[in-house]
Structure 1
Amino acid sequence: MIKIYIAVALTVIMVAFHNCVPGSSGSSSNATGAGGNGGTVIPQCQYTSNPAPVLEGIFSDAAFTAPASTISYRIGMGGDAGTEGTRTLYLKANSGDGISNVISVNCNGGNGLNTNCDVSNGTLRVRINADQDAECMTGSTTVRITVSDSVNGAGCTALAATSNQLNLTVNFANGCYPQTRLNPPTPFASGQMGANVAIDGNWAVSATPGDEAGGIDAGAAHVFQLNGNVWSNFQRIVPSSLASGSQLGAVAISGNTMVLGANLYANAVGRVWVYTFNGSSWVLTAELNSPSPTVGEKFGTAVAISNGVVAVGAPRNSVSGAQSGAVYLFSGASYATVQTVYPQVVGSETLVQGEFGSSVALESGTLIVGAPFPNSATVRGEAVYIYRQSGAFAFAQKIINTDGGGSKRFGTAVSLSGNRLIIGAPFYSSQNNSEVGRAYVYTRASAAVNYGATFGMLNPGDAGLKDHFGQSVFINANNAFVGAPDKTFDQLAKVGAVYMYNSAGTQTFKIRSRRADRENDSFGQSIAVGNGWLISGAFNDEHDINFLNSGSVYMVDIP
């Protein structure tokens, strides 16, 4: 958000109107010309002086209820929460003699400001708004408003036009969060870097499922490193056993350990790789496979890691019913110990087609698993499952959202931090908008007990049709973040946005790409937060016209 303080020095002369004072009746006459004028009457200028106008004041309202020398307001990038998209100031002057004829007005902004001047009935209206294509705005700038005037009366050509200028000093506070776009060093058409992202400490990683270094649509992982305050490409990882069509698309990182998943490997059997940092590069340390490999299982759709335990989702596993899903937990030396968990039946419901394992989150002995798809041919029973570790992981709770009907894909994205859990439902539909999306926050008293039945709902402040708010989520102790990759902005489709909320559930900021080429980028397709940085995937970014949808990621410095 941008907080703009506009201070105006009232001693500055603001405008130059047509303010010429007519001469007295004794100082003007109609002369009869001679010599070359053919007797044509040459009119004499009726004006002898052009006194300066008197500034009446600066007003923040159209009603002009009170003049002010200082005006404060907030203006935001793209309608960020608690801000105004455009602000209009009104300035009024009195010419003294009642004659006013403004012929031109010029406003000059700059440094991330757009300005537009309009004149009506002697009132100068100055519209100021943030430049939607500008990078982060800091410091101060000056808005210069220049008004020019000339005398158009007959015979007044010798009376010079006048112009005066008013300067508005604009100071930015908390203008926007600095962001850096990182592109794939070797782009591929439909590479879609940013399809999935993770971050921890000074490392971040992005899945690029369409990378072709290892074969057509084999996929790859791009690793980024933070040095000082600068992020840069560090390494592209292409597992040697990766094959064409694998589409490596899942990533997780914890300390010096990274997990990569390719759910379409070997006819969608799927495979997962574990890498560690050896001080100079990331090297392969383990290759994980389903204990009972099955074509179409999609092992590696979602991955997570915490305290040496790797969780791998296989949402098309059919042990508990067709496409009911499973999650595998690998631990111990070389990750040789494997535990499998399945969705649990509560009541009389069926588990068919629930796709348990579509999303996973793991932290300090708590496993969260999303099953966001229909669990029968006609009924949706989207749910999120919680497992707690006591030696092995055991089923603890099943959350079925009670906010309206089904078909909202509750559990598409999940994230937990301490005793806070956030769940995305990107296909939630309101009365006004289909598939606008919604996110839900649940809390618990401690890790030993279940999450409460009540929940907080997070909604975007500018909800729109098919924004798919909740496609990605992240939560920590102080904030929650929700991605809406299909958000339209300024009539540009699928620009995308990431919404930030405080612990009370109040939207505090909306983050989006500020690039001029941001249409159809899907900023916010994937998100993660760590070490004061938000990483957001824009997997359809077309930063290079020769490689459409090659994708990118944004690193956003957040407070």
Structure 2
Amino acid sequence: GYTFAKAHLFEVATGNQLMELQPDILNLNGDVGGHFADALAIDNGLVAIGAPTRSVVWDNSGAAYVFNVTSGEQLHFIAPDDLWDRDYCGISISIDNQIVAIGAEGDDDNAWFSGAAYLYDAQSGNQIDKLLASDGAEFDTFGNAIAINAGVVVVGAKGDTSDHFGAAYVFDGITLGSADEIKNEFTLSPNPASNRVSIDHLALEGEIVAVKIHNSLGQLVGHFDQDYFKGAEQWSLDVSSYESGIYFVSLQKSDRLEVKKLLIE
């Protein structure tokens, strides 16, 4: 016989297991794998579960499921019509206010492994829209992480930019218009360094940027603040007095904190 993957549902107050959720055998199409429950989310009586390697027509095209929390009944099996080989639909999943957001990091509408995200109506099982990065490029893996709340969808793209710094894209989940993109553009060069190190980043207009440097023991050895105009900025720091070793440079911008390792020789 076949052994199927399961998702386990627990009650928070008692820690007791309520039920096990399994994919409907009628929807397996002979594929009993699929990494069912690699990603899952719960909201308002519904559970959304991703199965990113489900082979629906194409190898590892992926799929998602929606279950009723009370009955354990599978309500919908979701496999977008335009899925292709190794799209990995269901690699990430989120649900809020009857909308299911599903990541497909291998989608190639923009370029090879540029990625995509889908929005579905959890009640009807119908597709609402497909989201793509406006600047999608090869190996961005847009959709590797996803979250939805109060009509706003945030989609991660860990491979974005040629140096793979990563990015997050924010969409209005109701109008589905593009919104802000929060880029991780914090770089250190040279690294390793001996005399000076340059910090390159993007700043929003008027925001205060704080840079802190800690040694490998967690001790603060440098702290700098600066107001910036919007756009690309470069900050040169003198590190000639620092002992050789590993340091951690943190850059705080508004409500975002980024940390990178710096080697001083």
The question of a shared fold, defined as TM-score above 0.5 by the shorter chain, is answered with yes
Give, in angstroms, the shift of residue 304 of structure 1.
Answer: 0.6
Taking the TM superposition and a 5 Å limit, the aligned residue runs for 1:357-376 are 357-373=143-159, 375-376=161-162
Q: 1:334 aligns with which of 124, 132, 140?
A: 124
1:431 and 1:356, CA in 2 relative to 1: closer, same or farther beyond 3 A?
farther
**CA offsets, 1:527-557, max 9 Å, x none?**
xxxxxxxxxxxxxxxxxxxxxxxxxxxxxxx
Partner Cα separation in structure 2 for residue 437 and residue 326 of structure 1? 33
Contact 2:118 2:127 (8 Å CA) reproduced = no
1:224 and 1:356, CA in 2 relative to 1: closer, same or farther beyond 3 A?
same
- 2:102 match: secondary structure: strand
Partner Cα separation in structure 1 for residue 216 and residue 89 of structure 2? 38
Give, in angstroms, the shift of residue 403 of structure 1.
Answer: 3.2
1:273 and 1:322, CA in 2 relative to 1: closer, same or farther beyond 3 A?
same
Give, in angstroms, the shift of residue 293 of structure 1.
Answer: 1.7
Structure 1: gaps of 5 or more residues: 1-212, 407-429, 442-452, 464-559
* Identical amino acids, percent of aligned pairs: 20
Amino acid at match of 2:177: A
Contact 1:324 1:375 (8 Å CA) reproduced = no
Contact 1:354 1:381 (8 Å CA) reproduced = no
Q: Tell me whether 1:265 sits opposite 2:48 in the alignment.
A: no
Taking the TM superposition and a 5 Å limit, the aligned residue runs for 1:93-242 are 215=3, 218-226=4-12, 229-240=13-24, 241-242=27-28
Contact 1:276 1:284 (8 Å CA) reproduced = yes
Partner Cα separation in structure 2 for residue 375 and residue 401 of structure 1? 9
Contact 1:386 1:396 (8 Å CA) reproduced = yes
1:401 and 1:454, CA in 2 relative to 1: closer, same or farther beyond 3 A?
farther
Contact 1:353 1:375 (8 Å CA) reproduced = no
Q: 1:394 aligns with which of 177, 197, 200?
A: 177
Give the alignment's Cα RMSD to 1 decimal.
3.3
Amino acid at match of 1:246: G
Contact 1:438 1:457 (8 Å CA) reproduced = no
Partner Cα separation in structure 2 for residue 354 and residue 276 of structure 1? 34
1:283 and 1:352, CA in 2 relative to 1: closer, same or farther beyond 3 A?
same
1:320 and 1:432, CA in 2 relative to 1: closer, same or farther beyond 3 A?
farther
1:383 is aligned to 167
Contact 1:214 1:238 (8 Å CA) reproduced = no
Taking the TM superposition and a 5 Å limit, the aligned residue runs for 1:38-57 are none
Q: Tell me whether 1:316 sits opposite 2:106 in the alignment.
A: yes
Partner Cα separation in structure 2 for residue 230 and residue 438 of structure 1? 43
Structure 2: gaps of 5 or more residues: 190-213, 218-246
Contact 2:100 2:122 (8 Å CA) reproduced = no
1:245 is aligned to 33
- 1:380 match: secondary structure: coil
RCO comparison, higher one (Cα < 8 Å, 6+): 1
TM-score of the pair, normalised by structure 1? 0.33
Contact 2:216 2:248 (8 Å CA) reproduced = no
2:91 is aligned to 301
Higher strand share: 2
TM-score of the pair, normalised by structure 2? 0.66
Partner Cα separation in structure 1 for residue 119 and residue 83 of structure 2? 15
**CA offsets, 1:306-353, max 9 Å, x none?**
1111100000000001100000001275121330010122xxxx6210
1:244 and 1:432, CA in 2 relative to 1: closer, same or farther beyond 3 A?
farther
Contact 1:303 1:311 (8 Å CA) reproduced = yes
Amino acid at match of 1:384: A
1:224 and 1:457, CA in 2 relative to 1: closer, same or farther beyond 3 A?
same
Partner Cα separation in structure 2 for residue 440 and residue 233 of structure 1? 43
1:245 and 1:284, CA in 2 relative to 1: closer, same or farther beyond 3 A?
closer
Give, in angstroms, the shift of residue 432 of structure 1.
Answer: 4.3
Amino acid at match of 1:270: G
- 1:252 match: secondary structure: strand
Partner Cα separation in structure 2 for residue 309 and residue 328 of structure 1? 10
